[in-house]
Amino acid sequence: MIDTLVSKSIMASSEIHKTSQKNIRKEREKKILDCAFTLFSKNGIDNTSMTEIAKKANIGVASLYRYFNTKEQIAIQCSIRTWKKMKIVFTKELSIDFLNGKTGLEICKELLGVFRKSYFLYPYFYIYIYEFDLYIKRHKLDHKMLTEYENVIKSVLQSSTAAIKRGFSDGSINPDLAEIAEPEELYTAVASSLFFLVQKLAISANLLEMDSQMSGDRKIEIVTQLFINSLKK
């Protein structure tokens, strides 16, 4: 009886220890990715070394390699994490608006408005994705390595496409557009255009004197309204 209790106690302690170790590892991985994201966004992925990442994360280079085998792996994981964060922002808007019973067009306006908000709140998201796109192209990363990354982006588009579908259903979006493109294609085209505008502004808003004649916020506002007007019935 006593032996059984002792055995169970040892097993329980072992499980607690394993859980604790897993949590510690997750926290360290998170810190590494946060530090890498900051460096990649500021200096570029190619211009950032594993040594610099380790230094910013306050760990040794050898320890860094115990968590991530390559800088490539770190860059991909940073990209997945940052898109997941943006997915939360978009799906939060979507769920709130659906619960409030808004029309499809109204929801589209709210969703496209997220780009305007994110221009101020998450500029480094756009800068990092630009850097990662360049990294993919330069190093010709295998598509298989990017499967999870691509799936996260697709999930954002799929959830947002629900707004277009509702718009067709409730009549708030021009039904003639259904003859031009599927809901997912329509939202992807509009969102991608707005995404690249915000990305350009986040990276190089005031390179030329003419850029200062209109704020980035105003440009996003105008383009967003043009898109909304084009969707109206």
Query: Tens of pLDDT along 46-59?
Result: 999 999 999 999 99
pTM equals 0.83
CATH of domain 1-69: 1.10.10.60
- Domain regions of the chain by residue span: 1-69, 71-233
Beta-carbon-side half-sphere exposure of residue 46 (alpha carbons within 13 Å): 10
pLDDT in the model for residue 35: 96
- 21's CB contacts (< 8 A; 6+ apart) are none
pLDDT in the model for residue 156: 84
pLDDT in the model for residue 60: 94
pLDDT in the model for residue 17: 47
Closest CA to 43 of 55, 30, 28: 55
Question: Given 3.40.50.880, 1.10.357.10, 1.10.10.10, 3.40.50.1100, which CATH number is that of 71-233?
Answer: 1.10.357.10
Query: Tens of pLDDT along 188-198?
Result: 899 999 999 99
Q: Which residue ranges in the chain fall short of pLDDT 70?
A: 1-21, 97-99
- 10's CB contacts (< 8 A; 6+ apart) are none
CA 157-85-168 angle, to 5 degrees, is 25
pLDDT in the model for residue 6: 52
